[in-house]
Structure 1
Amino acid sequence: MRVHLVTGAGSGIGLALADRLEARGDRVLRLTRDVVDLADADAVRRWADGLGETRLDSVSHVAGTVDLGTVADLDLAAWRRQLDVNLTAPAVLTAALLPALRAARGTVVLVNSSAGLTAHAGWSAYAASKYGLRALADTLRAEEAEHGVRVTTVFPSRTATPMQEKVHEQEGRTYDSSRWIRPETVVEAIVHVLDLPADATIPELVIRPR
């Protein structure tokens, strides 16, 4: 039985991914807000160290947080939380779980954002965290290739999730989920990455609405 860890498994893409993997018979470790606060790096490390898994076929970093604001106006707490949750937590969690990933020659999936490819006004801290996440993935990919660990960054455009609803609220726009990519569509892409034969890797995957 394959074993996966999914962060952000309480809603949106993370929930859809965890449900999909369990439905096909895989075992899924669901990391949600009530399990550990991803903004607390020390707590993340303690939780990972106590997990007790010797093999992990994949770790999918789906959790994220967003608070829009300009460089001039965004407060320090919002900067710290977005960098802690969106960038530091994936780094700390992955580092702690590398022995289990290496043992299974597993895959790390980092769900990024179109904001990790192009930064726009008002997206200061969030875009910075996502650009950093891409750099983390590139570094990890180069470091872990010799250990058989594959690393994929997925860049979905706006997806119909609770986070997207929050973004619309912050933008002062009406939210219409039918306009955006379904979480299940992003999950299809992630599952394709997880099931890829061992002779290939997908470094990056960009998903846009039609």
Structure 2
Amino acid sequence: MFTRNNLADLHGQAGDATGAAEVLRELLPDQVRALGADHPDVLRTHEALAYWHIQAGEAAGAIAALRLLLADRVRVLGLDHPHTLAARGNLAHWQGKAGDAAGAAKAFAEVLADRLRVLGPDHPHCMVARGNLAYWREQAADASGAASAYADLYRERVRLLGPNHLDTQAAAVKFDYWRAKASPPRTGSGTGAQTRRGRKPNTPGLGGKQV
């Protein structure tokens, strides 16, 4: 089994992420049978399998591997462990990448609530979750939901980063755009140059991230 793990690493290092994932997928049931589902080597293989599917850009494989990894972390570490929360965030991200933007947004709303409860509002992972919630509501074309999420993100960035930080300003632009989409202004009463033109702003630092 050690040799097969090394083989997966060699595939990955050579740029063959799909091959690495395939080796680990075949290794995993043998490890579980020999070592037990909660053995550290088995848990590491689940994590590595998810990693190589992600590196290969294989959404379906990544989702399947992340679900296994999440089940392991819940069972071994508990629901509130930071590694469990990270796995939930990564799974939500790949749900969105697979085309389920609304499902990803719903999952990130739940992840954010739990991160706030466990980690506190000032933790960087809470800020990441806020950005992802806003981003996936945007991708789902949920105008009112996106406006609400970007408003929250903007307030938190002002509080933690200051009003002049580029990420804060990016959130303000997104909020302005989605507020206008959710409540279109009367003709001739635009809310800003970008929203008057009806252009979707392309701003950095606003979600679509894992963690």
Give me the TM-score of the superposition, normalised by structure 2.
0.28
Greater fraction of residues in helix = 2
Point out which structure has higher relative CO (alpha carbons under 8 A, 6+ apart): 1
Q: Is the strand fraction higher in 1 or 2? A: 1
Q: Normalized against structure 1, the TM-score is what?
A: 0.28
Larger Rg: 2
